Amino acid sequence: MQAFEVLGDPVRRRVLELIADGEVTSGAVCAVIRAEFGISQPAVSQHLRVLRDSGFATVRAAGTRRLYAVSPEPLREVAGIDRLQRHISELLGYLERNQDMLVHYAARRRRGEPISTAFVESAVNEIVAKRMNKKQQMRWNRTTVQPFLDVRTAVLNDALEDAFRHRYPGFRSDNDDQVRSVGA
């Protein structure tokens, strides 16, 4: 089992909390877990075995008792969670602070409004830069952006193909053959 599979179970996380401060007998762990989760002693033993087999817990025999403790090595693997949580909380804070500025694309789609195609403009910019062997992005101004805006508007209005057919009467799109075979 991977670390996240082991720690994904709430019973095992609670067992780790119980044994985090030092060695605890299996009987004491079992009593707390049975009271909190209402599971049987064999089920608690199974959770202890999973923790032991995955390296999250160590066991030491002391006479007839078994003493469990946390093994710190596997927890170091998941130590990156703190950084992840910090980044996620920063992202959530940013989203909350800028909530009024964010576009709700699902709502726009439900209302039938067009959705931005800025990613297409970015791709066009990258392609043009590669084609022209430029090391910098294009500088947009009214003259250079107008053709791209015209194409974007035609795409949003589903009029691009008609515009091509009007300007180039011999234009045939890739799916013309499919449309003809379906219509036949």
Domains by residue range for the chain, with CATH: 3-77 (1.10.10.10), 80-110 (no CATH), 118-173 (no CATH)
- pLDDT at res. 135: 58
- pLDDT at res. 152: 75
Q: Are 55 and 7 in contact (CB under 8 A)?
A: no
> pLDDT tens digit string along 33-70?
999 999 999 999 999 999 999 888 999 998 999 999 98
Identify the CA nearest to 69 among candidates 47, 46, 52, 45.
52
- Give CA–CA dist 177/154, Å, rounded: 23
Lateral strand order in the sheet of 24-25: 24-25, 65-70, 57-62
> pLDDT tens digit string along 102-134?
777 778 878 887 776 676 677 777 766 665 665
- Give CA–CA dist 91/85, Å, rounded: 10
Report whether pLDDT(82) > 90: no
* Structure letter (DSSP) for residue 38: -
pTM recorded for the entire structure = 0.43
